[in-house]
Structure 1
Amino acid sequence: MRLFSQLSWYFIREWRRYLGAVALLIVIALLQLLPPKVVGMVVDGVSRQQMSTSQLLMWVGVMLIAAVVVYLLRYVWRVLLFGASYQLAVELRQDFYRQLSRQHPEFYLRHRTGDLIARATNDVDRVVFAAGEGVLTLVDSLVMGLVVLFVMSTQISWQLTLLALLPMPIMALVIKRYGDQLHNRFKLAQAAFSSLNDQTQESLTSIRMIKAFGLEDHQSGQFADIARDTGRKNMRVARVDARFDPTIYIAIGMSNLLAIGGGSWLVWHGMMTLGQLTSFVMYLGLMIWPMLALAWMFNIVERGSAAWSRIRSLLSEAPTVGEGSQTLPEERGSLQIAIKEFCYPGSQHPALRHVNVQLKPGHMLGLCGPTGSGKSTLLSLIQRHFDIAQGDIRFHDIPLTELRLDGWRSRLAVVSQTPFLFSDTVANNIALGRPTAELREIEQAARLANVHEDILRLPQGYETPVGERGVMLSGGQKQRISIARALLLDAEILILDDALSAVDGRTEHQILHNLRRWGQGRTVIISAHRLSALTEASEILVMQKGALVQRGQHEQLVSVKGWYQDMYRYQQLEAALDEEENEKGVSHG
C-alpha cells in the first residue's frame, strides 16, 4: 500500500479523473445491489403466489436496464481511470529519459544498459498497472464490499452477516503475509530480469565479435545460466502468487457454508424468509469479487511498489556535475586549463597532474602519449563530464563550473574514439546536431571530412540507411561521417579524440589540410596515436602517466630525445616498410 502514498502527487494532480472514476464505481456498486433484492422479492412473491406475470416481467426488465447502465458506466470509468494511468506511463518514461540525458559518465560506470532499459520498460509497466488496475480494485472492492456488508447487516440479518464473515479476518492476515513475501521476491526477480536484459543487449551488440572468436556456445551457456537464474527467481514469485487464490476460495467456501447453515436454521425457525436467504446468498456472492479483488490488489500493488523503488532510486540520483548559471559572451574566447590534480570518482590514483595550457582562437592543440597517459581524461574534463577538485578550466576567464552546461557544450563539437551512428540515413546521421541543415551544407561537411565520394558510391547516396550502429560502413567511413557531423555544427571548439585512427595516411593528410582551412579562428584539439596527425599543431603536449613530460611544436619535439622522437622515428620506419611491401606486392602482381 506504500505505492499509493508514493504516487499521491499524481493522484492529486489528476484528481478529476480519479474522482470521476470513483464516483462511477460507487454508482455501479449501488446498481449491483438491485438484482439480489429483486430476486429475493420475486422468490417470496412467487412462493406466496402474490406476484402476477406483469409484475414479474417488470422486475426482469428493471434488472436488464440496470445491467445495460452498469455496462455503459464501466466503459466510461475505464476510459477515465486507465487514461490517467497511461498518462503516468508517458510522464515516468519522459522523466526517466530526461534523467538519463542529464547524467554523466560516472553514472554509466555504475549502471548497466540492460538494467536501465528494464527499469524504463518493465518496471514502469508494473507501476502503471498498479496505478490503474490497483486503484480500480482497491476502490471497487472497498465500495462494493462495504455497501453489500451494510445491506446484508441492516436489511436481512446482522447475526448471519457476522457469522458468514468470521473467516475474513484470518484471510486478511494471511494475504498480508503473502504480500510482504511477494514484494521482496518480486524485487529480486526484477533485478534478475535486468541482468538477463543486460546480457541480451551485450550479446546482440557484440555478435560479430562473438562469431569471430567462435564463442557462440560459450555465450549461449552464459545466457542459459542467467535465464535459469531469472526463471528460478520468477518461480519463487509464482509460488507466492499461487497461494492467493486458494486462500481466498477456502475463505469464501467457509463463508458460504456458514451462511447456508446459519440461514437454514433461521428459516426453519421462522426468523427469515426463503427469499431473504436467497438474497443473502446472492449478496454473499457479490462479496466474492471484493475479496478476490483485494487479494489481487495486494499482489499488483506490491509488484508496483517493488518496481517503483527501483525507478525512484534512479530518478533521485542528482547529476555528479552541477549546473552553472552564467551565460557565455557571443564572441570567441580563450580556453585556459590549470589542473593541479584529478582523480576519477572512487579512485585515489591521480589520472592527471599539473596540466597547464592556454588555447587562443585559431590555435590547434595536439595530444599524444602512450595508452593510459590521460589524453581522453583531459578531453573529458574539457567537455565537463567530471568536475575538478584541485584546479579548474576556464573559458572567457569564467570557470566551467559556473557556466550553463548547454551553453558551454554548444561551443563544442566532439568526435570520440568510437564513432556511433544511428539506424538512419547517412544524411540524417551527419545532420544529427543540425536537423534543419540543407543537403548542400551536409555535402560540404562531408567534403571537408573527405567522405563525400564514398557516400556517392553507396547504393542510395546520402539516403542510404547505414544499419544499426553503422554496420553497413567500414571503420574509416564511420569515423569520417562522425567528423562531418561535428564540422556541420560549425562550433567554436572542435575536439577529435583519436578520430583518424581508422583512415589511411593519405586520407588523414587530406582531412587535416581541410581542417586547417576550416579551423581559421576556431580552436582545434586533436588527440592521436599516429603523430603525423599532429605535425601542424600550434602546440603538442606529450603525456605519460597523467603528467606532461614534453611540450612544443613538432619540429622542436623530433629534435629532442624523448618519447615523441622515438615514436615518430618508429612510425616513419613502419610507414616506409609498409610502402616497400606494397610496392613489392604490385611488382609481383
Structure 2
Amino acid sequence: MFRVLKQLAWFFKEQKKRYTAAVVLLLVVSVVDLMPALLIGEAVDAFQRGALSYSYAFSLIALLVVIIIASYWISFIWMQQLFGGAFILERKLRSRFMRHLFAMDPPFFEKRKTGDLLARGTNDMKAISMTAGFGILTLLDSVLFMGILLAAMVLLIDWRLTLAAVAPLPLIALVVTILGSMIHSRFSKAQEAFGDLNNRVLESVAGMRVIRAFRSERRDEKLFAEKSNDVYKRYMQVARVESFFDPVVNMVVGLSYVIGLGYGAYLVFHQQVTLGQIVTFNMYLGMLIWPMFAIGELVNIMQRGGASYDRVNDTLTVEKAVQAPDAPVEGLGHHLPIRYEKVSFSYPGAKGNQLESVSLTINKGETLGIVGKTGSGKSTLVKQLMKYYPGLSGDISFAGVSIADLPQEEIRGAIGYVPQDHVLFSKSVRENILFAADGATEAQLNEAIEASAFAQDLAFLPEGLDTLVGENGVSLSGGQKQRISIARALVTKPELLILDDSLSAVDAKTEAKIVANIQKERAGQTTIITTHRMSAVEHADQIIVLEDGKVVERGTHAQLMEEGGWYAEQVRNQSLGEEEVNI
C-alpha cells in the first residue's frame, strides 16, 4: 500500500526541510489538541470536589483559549508546509511529464491516444500529489496522532480501560488488507476508462465539421454516452469498495464507546478512576474517530496514488525511439551538402521497405523536387532528415558528418519544416508565424508573409495579424493554413527549407506566386519540395521520381520531359486539366 511513498522518496528527500517541519508541527499540535479534554476533565473533578472557584474556572478558560489560538496558528503553518509540498510535487511531475512528451518521437504518439495522455497529465497527477499532501496527513493522523492519543489514554487515564476500548481496532486492519488491493486495480481501470472518454471528446471536437456534414451527431452522441457510462460504472466500482470502510469504522467506534462507557462506569463505581477522567477518556474516544476514518482515507489515497503513479511512470520510462549519439558532433556551422547513401527504411511494424536503396546528393543552393504516386515514399524520404524513426539502413550525412553522429537539435535547428498536416495554435496569426522566431523583426515578419502570398488575405481578417485563428486554425481555410505554415518556416531563415506537399490546398496561380517568391527570397539557399503537382518543381535543379520507395527517374524538368516517363506523362495530364479549368 505504501509503495507509492517509496517511489516518491526522491521528492521527500528533496523537500526534506519542508516535510520535517510539517511532521514536527503536526506532532506538536497533536499534543496541544489533547489539552482541552484534560482541562475539561480537571474542571469536572474540581466541581465534584467543590473546589471550582470563579478564579480557577477563569484560569482554565483562559488557558483553553490560549491553547485553541496556538493550535490554530501551528495548524496554519503545518498545512502550508504539507499541502504546499503537494502542489510543488504536482508542478514538478507535470513539468517532467511535458518535457518527456516534447522529447518523444512520432512512434511514441502513434501508439498512444491523446485523451489518455491528457488524463495522465491531469487526473493522475492530482491523485499522485494527494499522496504527498492529504495522504501524508492521513498517515500521520492514523499512526502518529492515534499513537499519541492511545498513549495519553494509557498514561493519563487507565491502561485497562484503554485496552478494552481499543480491542475492536484490529477489525479495521483486516478490512484495510482486503479492500486495499481491490481499490488499486479498480481505480487503474477507472482511470483508463477516463482516458478513453477524454480521447472521445477530443476526436469529436476536432471532427465536429465532419460529424455534422455526415449527420452523425446521434451516432457520436451515442458513442460518447457509452464511454461516459463506462467511466461511471468503473468509478462506481471503486466507490462500492470504498463504501464498505465507513460502516466498519462506525461499528468499531460505536463498540469502543459502549465498552468505554460500560467499563468506565464500572471503574468509577469502584473509585479506580474519577468522573473527570471518564469525561476526558470519552472525549479522547471521540477524537479517535478521525484517525480511524483516516485509515480508510489513507488506503484510498495510497492505492489511488499508486495506481496513478504506475500509469504516469509507464509513460515517463518510455525511451526515445532514436537514441542520442554517444559522441555527438555539434556546432557544424553549416550542414550542406546532404547525401543519401543507399538509404533503406521501414516503419516499425510495417511489412516491406518504404524506401529502397535511395542515393542522392543535395548541394548548397539547390532546389530538389520529389514527386511520385501517393504512398511512393516522398514524405518518408524527407522525414529521415529529421531523425524521427529508428531502423535506417545505409547513411545520410550532413556536410560529411553521418546523421547517426548528429544530435536531433543540431539537425532540426538548421531545417524549416512545413509538414502536410498544418498545425496551428489557438493564438493570433502573428503569434503562429513567429512561433519559432521570437527575435524576428517586423520587416522579417512582413517578408515571410509576402513570400508565402498571405498578405492579400490579411485585409479580409477582422483584426489583421492579431486575428485569433481558433484551435488548429478552425476559422481559416486550408490554403490560408498552409500559407501561414510556410510563413512560419520562412521567417526563421532556415539553412534548409522542406515543403512537404505544402501547396496542395492553394490554386495554381497562388502556387506559382509562392514558388517564385521562395526562389527569389531563398536565392543561394537549399529547398526540398515534395508534391503531387509537377508545376511546383519545374524550376528545381534536380527532380526525382519515387515509386515504391525507389528512385525510378532523376534529372531536371527538361531532361525528364525528354525521357518521356511517368513525370512527363503527369506534366501533360496536369497541363490538360488546367487548360480545361481555364476554359
Name the TM-score class by shorter chain.
Answer: over 0.9
Write the distance in 2 (CA, Å) between the matches of 1:147 and 1:283: 10
Alpha-carbon distance, 1:269 to partner = 2.2
Q: Is residue 55 of structure 2 the alignment partner of residue 58 of structure 1?
A: no
Alpha-carbon distance, 1:560 to partner = 2.5
Write the distance in 1 (CA, Å) between the matches of 2:394 and 2:243: 60
- 2:374 aligns with 371
Write the distance in 2 (CA, Å) between the matches of 1:247 and 1:570: 81
Write the distance in 2 (CA, Å) between the matches of 1:236 and 1:41: 49
Write the distance in 1 (CA, Å) between the matches of 2:377 and 2:120: 34
Q: Is residue 490 of structure 2 the alignment partner of residue 492 of structure 1?
A: no
Q: Secondary structure of the residue that 1:496 maps to in structure 2?
A: strand
Could you state the TM-score of these two structures normalised by the residue count of structure 2?
0.97
Q: What amino acid maps onto 1:134 in structure 2?
A: G
Q: Secondary structure of the residue that 2:122 maps to in structure 1?
A: helix
- 1:523 aligns with 526
- 2:400 aligns with 397
* Counterpart contact for 2:135–2:302, Cα < 8 Å: yes
State which drifts further: 213-222 or 33-42: 33-42
- 1:587 aligns with none
Alpha-carbon distance, 1:167 to partner = 0.9
Q: Is residue 421 of structure 2 the alignment partner of residue 422 of structure 1?
A: no
- 1:507 aligns with 510
* Counterpart contact for 2:418–2:502, Cα < 8 Å: yes
Write the distance in 1 (CA, Å) between the matches of 2:446 and 2:234: 54
* Counterpart contact for 1:141–1:293, Cα < 8 Å: yes
Write the distance in 1 (CA, Å) between the matches of 2:249 and 2:554: 79
After superposition, give the CA deviation of every residue in 1:282-313 in whole Å (9 maximum; x if it has no partner).
11111111111121111112111111111111
* Counterpart contact for 1:495–1:526, Cα < 8 Å: yes
Q: What amino acid maps onto 2:565 in structure 1?
A: G
* Counterpart contact for 1:498–1:526, Cα < 8 Å: yes
Q: Secondary structure of the residue that 2:423 maps to in structure 1?
A: coil
**Cα separation, partners in 2 of 1:41 and 1:332, compared to 1, 3 Å:** closer
Q: Is residue 556 of structure 2 the alignment partner of residue 553 of structure 1?
A: yes
Q: Is residue 245 of structure 2 the alignment partner of residue 241 of structure 1?
A: no
* Counterpart contact for 1:153–1:161, Cα < 8 Å: yes
Write the distance in 1 (CA, Å) between the matches of 2:139 and 2:170: 17
Q: Is residue 92 of structure 2 the alignment partner of residue 91 of structure 1?
A: yes
- 1:315 aligns with 316
After superposition, give the CA deviation of every residue in 1:181-226 in whole Å (9 maximum; x if it has no partner).
1111000000000000000011001111111111111111111111
Write the distance in 1 (CA, Å) between the matches of 2:459 and 2:445: 13
Q: Is residue 32 of structure 2 the alignment partner of residue 37 of structure 1?
A: no
Moved over 6 A (4+): none
* Counterpart contact for 2:386–2:408, Cα < 8 Å: no
Write the distance in 2 (CA, Å) between the matches of 1:564 and 1:167: 87
Write the distance in 1 (CA, Å) between the matches of 2:512 and 2:154: 92
Out of 430, 434, 445, which is 1:431 matched to?
Answer: 434
- 1:536 aligns with 539
- 1:299 aligns with 300
After superposition, give the CA deviation of every residue in 1:517-560 in whole Å (9 maximum; x if it has no partner).
22222211100001111111111111111222222211222233
- 2:347 aligns with 344
State which drifts further: 368-377 or 191-200: 368-377
Q: Is residue 254 of structure 2 the alignment partner of residue 257 of structure 1?
A: no
Write the distance in 1 (CA, Å) between the matches of 2:391 and 2:184: 41
- 1:270 aligns with 271
* Counterpart contact for 2:368–2:528, Cα < 8 Å: yes
Write the distance in 2 (CA, Å) between the matches of 1:343 and 1:466: 37
Alpha-carbon distance, 1:561 to partner = 4.0
Alpha-carbon distance, 1:562 to partner = 3.1
* Counterpart contact for 1:339–1:352, Cα < 8 Å: no
Alpha-carbon distance, 1:132 to partner = 0.7
Q: Is residue 568 of structure 2 the alignment partner of residue 565 of structure 1?
A: yes
After superposition, give the CA deviation of every residue in 1:386-412 in whole Å (9 maximum; x if it has no partner).
134421211011111211221211100
After superposition, give the CA deviation of every residue in 1:485-539 in whole Å (9 maximum; x if it has no partner).
1111101100000000011111111111111122222211100001111111111
Q: Secondary structure of the residue that 2:125 maps to in structure 1?
A: helix
What CA RMSD, in Å, does the superposition of the two structures yield over aligned residues? 1.3
Write the distance in 1 (CA, Å) between the matches of 2:209 and 2:185: 38
Q: Runs of 5+ in structure 2 lacking a partner?
A: none
* Counterpart contact for 1:11–1:18, Cα < 8 Å: yes
Q: What amino acid maps onto 2:542 in structure 1?
A: E
Q: What amino acid maps onto 1:431 in structure 2?
A: L
Q: Secondary structure of the residue that 1:434 maps to in structure 2?
A: coil
Q: Secondary structure of the residue that 2:453 maps to in structure 1?
A: coil
Q: What amino acid maps onto 1:571 in structure 2?
A: Q
State which drifts further: 560-569 or 4-13: 560-569
After superposition, give the CA deviation of every residue in 1:347-390 in whole Å (9 maximum; x if it has no partner).
24211111111111011111111111111111111111113442
Percent identity over the alignment?
Answer: 38
After superposition, give the CA deviation of every residue in 1:263-297 in whole Å (9 maximum; x if it has no partner).
12222222222222222111111111111112111
Q: What amino acid maps onto 2:164 in structure 1?
A: L
State which drifts further: 492-501 or 247-256: 247-256
Q: Runs of 5+ in structure 1 lacking a partner?
A: 581-589
State which drifts further: 457-466 or 393-402: 457-466
- 2:28 aligns with 27
State which drifts further: 336-345 or 496-505: 336-345
- 1:584 aligns with none
- 1:154 aligns with 155
Out of 385, 389, 395, which is 2:388 matched to?
Answer: 385
Out of 326, 333, 337, which is 2:336 matched to?
Answer: 333
- 1:144 aligns with 145
- 1:456 aligns with 459
- 2:227 aligns with 226
Write the distance in 1 (CA, Å) between the matches of 2:339 and 2:513: 30
Q: Secondary structure of the residue that 1:559 maps to in structure 2?
A: helix
Write the distance in 2 (CA, Å) between the matches of 1:267 and 1:378: 91
- 1:192 aligns with 193
Write the distance in 2 (CA, Å) between the matches of 1:99 and 1:318: 9
Within 5 A, what are the aligned runs for 1:57-206? 57-206=58-207
Q: Is residue 571 of structure 2 the alignment partner of residue 574 of structure 1?
A: no
* Counterpart contact for 2:335–2:414, Cα < 8 Å: no
Write the distance in 2 (CA, Å) between the matches of 1:199 and 1:84: 34
* Counterpart contact for 1:412–1:494, Cα < 8 Å: yes
Write the distance in 2 (CA, Å) between the matches of 1:282 and 1:409: 69
Q: Secondary structure of the residue that 1:87 maps to in structure 2?
A: helix
Could you state the TM-score of these two structures normalised by the residue count of structure 1?
0.96
Alpha-carbon distance, 1:332 to partner = 4.9
Out of 472, 478, 481, which is 1:478 matched to?
Answer: 481
* Counterpart contact for 2:451–2:518, Cα < 8 Å: yes
Alpha-carbon distance, 1:449 to partner = 1.0
Alpha-carbon distance, 1:101 to partner = 0.5
After superposition, give the CA deviation of every residue in 1:332-358 in whole Å (9 maximum; x if it has no partner).
521011244211112242111111111
Write the distance in 1 (CA, Å) between the matches of 2:395 and 2:216: 46
Q: What amino acid maps onto 2:267 in structure 1?
A: L
* Counterpart contact for 2:335–2:398, Cα < 8 Å: no
* Counterpart contact for 1:245–1:292, Cα < 8 Å: yes
* Counterpart contact for 1:328–1:408, Cα < 8 Å: no
Write the distance in 2 (CA, Å) between the matches of 1:312 and 1:247: 34
Q: Secondary structure of the residue that 1:543 maps to in structure 2?
A: strand
Alpha-carbon distance, 1:577 to partner = 1.2
State which drifts further: 85-94 or 331-340: 331-340
After superposition, give the CA deviation of every residue in 1:143-180 in whole Å (9 maximum; x if it has no partner).
21111111111222111111111111121111222121
Write the distance in 2 (CA, Å) between the matches of 1:238 and 1:333: 62
Tell me how many residue pairs correspond in the alignment.
580
Write the distance in 1 (CA, Å) between the matches of 2:42 and 2:452: 88
- 2:361 aligns with 358
